[in-house]
Amino acid sequence: MVMLTLKQFQYFIKIVEEGSFTAASEKLFIAQSALSRQMKLLEEEIDFQLFDRTDKKVKLTTAGEVFYKKIKNNMHYLNEIIGVSKNIAEGKNRQIKIAHSSSIIMDERKIHILKEISLANHINFEINTLSSEHQILALMSGEIDIGLIRPPVRHTLDELSIIKLYEEPLMVAVHVDHAKFASKQEIQVKDLKDEYFVSTPHSKRGGLSYLVSNLCVGAGFWPKAAMIQSRKLSQLQLVAENLGISIVPQEFEKILPHQVKLLPLADYLSLSEVQLVYRKDHDEMIQRCAEQIHQMFYLKNELA
């Protein structure tokens, strides 16, 4: 059984457009006999005649005219389908799903890195916010491709590739007119014992929550909960309303409300690490993107 091919359709259209087998064979750079043979095979496969061969000129049968119009109209869509499919096969125009915890700010530097990688690889990124714990589950289920987390997490990471991007100190976010800290340039953790925390540690979470609880327990107390709390970026708005204080990463300085300032911890050099994670069994494109993000972070850190 002879199968129809895309080239046969292209040959057929060219013959009709050029008005003769001779002209079409010259444009297609194939022998006229080979072109005629391909059209015979096409007619045998579709089981009806396309050409009226009683005339020396190219003349289509009634069925051939309908076939030409339909094939001509649909070739555009077929070529488009082939182009889109080829791009997917090459990793182009693919959407890569990235998640980051709410304590990792999608600042100008990160956005610029993703933009450069997007342009270089002809891919798109979709960014969402998930806790570090939920990112691990989303990676394993295939809901996201790359995660940006703050360790530690309570899930096993055996099936994930882990790349350290950067680390930064934890700082205390306080109201600029805080009765106790307004004139301070730094704070000791023990000074926070009687303060209300607008973001209290979660017993079942790792990441920033775990680091904050360790700091407080190490200083001999457990954080007191403010009347209104949030573990998201809105915690800074609660500090701005003087409802309490919060321990946050240094990168929060990029999104501070005017009424809030960050003070370093004098007695601790508590560093919080940010890691890029993806599944070990992911395809080449995901691995390439992860490596490029890491390389560009390293270069920008070196130049900073």
- Burial status of residue 37 (CB atoms within 10 A of its CB: 0-12, 13-18, 19 or more): exposed
How many other CB atoms are there within 10 angstroms of residue 170's CB atom? 23
Q: What is the pLDDT of residues 223-264, one digit of tens each?
A: 999 999 987 778 999 999 999 999 999 999 999 999 999 999
Q: What are phi and psi of 100, to 5 degrees?
A: -140, 150
Q: What is the pLDDT of residues 102-133, one digit of tens each?
A: 999 999 999 999 999 999 988 999 999 999 99
Task: Read off the tokens for 242.
Answer: 């003087």
Task: Read off the tokens for 228.
Answer: 């209104």
Model confidence band, residue 1 (pLDDT cutoffs 50, 70, 90): very low
pLDDT, position 303: 55
Name the more confident of 195 and 57.
Answer: 195
Q: What is the pLDDT of residues 45-98, one digit of tens each?
A: 999 999 998 777 789 999 999 999 999 888 878 887 787 677 777 666 788 999
pLDDT, position 206: 75
pLDDT, position 299: 80
pLDDT, position 204: 66
Residue 232 CA to chain centroid, in angstroms?
Answer: 21
Give pTM, 2 decimals: 0.70
Q: In which residue are the tokens 């109201």 written?
A: 175
pLDDT, position 304: 55
What secondary structure, in 3-state letters, does the chain show?
Answer: CCCCCHHHHHHHHHHHHHCCHHHHHHHHCCCHHHHHHHHHHHHHHHCCCCECCCCCCCCECHHHHHHHHHHHHHHHHHHHHHHHHHHHHCCCCEEEEEEECCCCCCCHHHHHHHHHHHHHHCEEEEEEECCHHHHHHHHHHCCCCEEEECCCCCCCCCCEEEEEEEEEEEEEEEECCCCCCCCCCCECHHHHCCCEECCCCCCCCCHHHHHHHHHHHHCCCCCEECCCCCCCCCHHHHHHCCCCEEEEEHHHHHHCCCCEEEEEECCCCCEEEEEEEEECCCCHHHHHHHHHHHHHHHHHHHHC
Least confident of 174-178, 210-214, 287-291: 210-214
Average pLDDT, the chain: 89
CA dihedral of 288, 293, 297, 298, whole degrees rounded to 10: -10
